[in-house]
Amino acid sequence: MASLDIQGVTKSFGATKVLHGIDLAVADGEMVVIVGASGCGKSTLLRIVAGLETPTGGKVLIEGRDVTPLEPADRDIAMVFQTYALYPHMSVFDNMAYGLKIRGLPKAEIRARVQEAADLLSIGQLLERKPRQLSGGQRQRVAMGRAIVRHPKLFLFDEPLSNLDAKLRVQMRAEIRRLQKRLSVTSLFVTHDQVEAMTLGDRLVVMHEGRAAQIGTPMEVWSRPADTYVASFIGSPAMNFLPATLTEGGAAARLAGGAVWRFTDGARPGGDGRAVTLGIRPEHLLADGADGLPLAIELAEPMGSETVVHGRLPDGTALTARLPGGVPGEGLRVAPELPALHVFDAEGGRRLDPA
């Protein structure tokens, strides 16, 4: 087990810059999830840590040792691939034992370690099978087992759950988290799925266009997103954004439609007239008959205990609300829970906190 430090890592493919300097410190035993849309550079970053790609600039340190110039073989890491990447010509046992055989461990110890990992993952009865005789979930377990037996310093996961069906994905997600906690291996997990990211990580790195838009615990990222990208990416359904301007000396914002929402946590800098973007999550909108904004319903999705309502404000701004109970009738008015309001700079989308 070890710590991982990524220091100013950049990567260019020709003239295309895919990573613009990533800094990240992962503590011993911590699980950090790198999340982002496809093409944001998250897989490239993971492959740089693995040693499968060479960074253009910056350093990767494992346990304080600079491993940037080392081959993957010398980094003492294990990786679970999206496609599992099992050796098709080897039995499950040989797949798991391969790395140990290369290191020249005694036969008895290899057998013991594989057996232990197989029991942990309940694939003990599959050891003689070939990968093609296994189901997707079983292959996934073997890939995990191959990583576990090595007792590596670092676990790397490259979207390992995206080839599984929805039910199995939820099950394996929980299992990975349980295993990681139990073995307390420092782990880096890449995914594009924000639910996976929220549930798996001790901390998240939200990546956007080759930069770490925000690094923090799942709740930090959810409750205080650093910019509009993170705010829209984390949380489902996505956060609503409303154009507005500061008023009352920065203590409130006037929406395009004229309504004024007062901040409960203090005035924002910049003074009256500064253009801002207000963010409010669908679950923080309440049905309010009295002084809410009228919402013309375009689509209502009943979920049973709650209903997701997609509609438009009178000025044409789209708004999504998650309301308890069944489908609301005509004349719906919604109002925000003002303490849950997020304020972003209209220019650049950075979060604006009270001065």
Partner 1 sequence: MRKKVIFRGAVLPYLLLLPQMAVTLVFFFWPAGMTVWQSMQREDAFGLRTEFVAFENFLDLFTDAIYLNAAWNTVVFSTSVAALALGSALFLAVQADKQIRGSGLYKTLLVWPYAVAPALAAVLWLFIFHPSIGLVGRGFSAIGIDWDYRVNGGQAMAMVIVAAAWKQVSYNFIFFLAGLQSIPTSVLEAAAIDGARPMRRFWTVVFPLLSPTAFFLLVVNLVYAFFDTFGVIHALTRGGPGNATETLIYKVYVDGVQNLNFGSSAAQSAVLMAIVIALTAIQFRFIERRVHY
Decide if 208 contacts 40 (C-beta within 8 A).
yes
Closer of 11 and 150 to partner 1 (Cβ): 150
Q: Which letter, b or e, does each residue of 136-169 get, where b requires 16 or more Cβ atoms within 10 Å of its Cβ?
A: ebbbbbbbbbbbbbbebbbbbbbbbbebbeeebb
Which secondary-structure segment (H or E) carries 3?
Answer: none
- CA–CA separation, 229 and 44 (whole Å): 20
Q: Are strands 31-35 and 186-191 parallel, antiparallel or unpaired?
A: parallel
Q: Bridge partners of 61?
A: 5, 66
Closer of 105 and 340 to partner 1 (Cβ): 105
Does 73 sit near partner 1 (CB under 8 A)? yes
Closer of 38 and 305 to partner 1 (Cβ): 38
Binding span for partner 1 by CB under 8 A among 15-23, 130-138, 255-263, 302-310: 130-138
**Binding-site member from 1, 27, 37, 102 for partner 1 (CB under 8 A):** 102
Q: Total residues contacting partner 1 (rule CB under 8 A)?
A: 26
Does 71 sit near partner 1 (CB under 8 A)? yes
Least spacing, CB of residue 102 vs partner 1, in Å: 4
- Rounded to the nearest 10°, the torsion over CA 123, 128, 134, 139 is 60
- CA–CA separation, 111 and 108 (whole Å): 5
**Beta-carbon neighbour count of residue 242 at 10 Å?**
23
Does 72 sit near partner 1 (CB under 8 A)? yes
Least spacing, CB of residue 37 vs partner 1, in Å: 22
Least spacing, CB of residue 96 vs partner 1, in Å: 10
Closer of 52 and 340 to partner 1 (Cβ): 52
- CA–CA separation, 109 and 119 (whole Å): 15
Closer of 102 and 296 to partner 1 (Cβ): 102
Does 135 sit near partner 1 (CB under 8 A)? no
Q: Longest Cα pair distance anywhere in the chain, in angstroms?
A: 76
Does 77 sit near partner 1 (CB under 8 A)? yes
Binding span for partner 1 by CB under 8 A among 31-39, 94-102, 172-180, 273-281: 94-102
Least spacing, CB of residue 103 vs partner 1, in Å: 6
**Binding-site member from 9, 67, 78, 253 for partner 1 (CB under 8 A):** 78
Does 85 sit near partner 1 (CB under 8 A)? yes
CA atoms within 13 Å, Cβ hemisphere of 138: 14
Residues 27-66 that bind partner 1 (CB under 8 A): 50-52
Does 87 sit near partner 1 (CB under 8 A)? yes
- CA–CA separation, 166 and 171 (whole Å): 9
Decide if 204 contacts 48 (C-beta within 8 A).
no
Contacts with partner 1, residue ranges (CB under 8 A): 50-52, 71-73, 77-79, 81-83, 85-89, 98-99, 102-103, 130-132, 146, 150
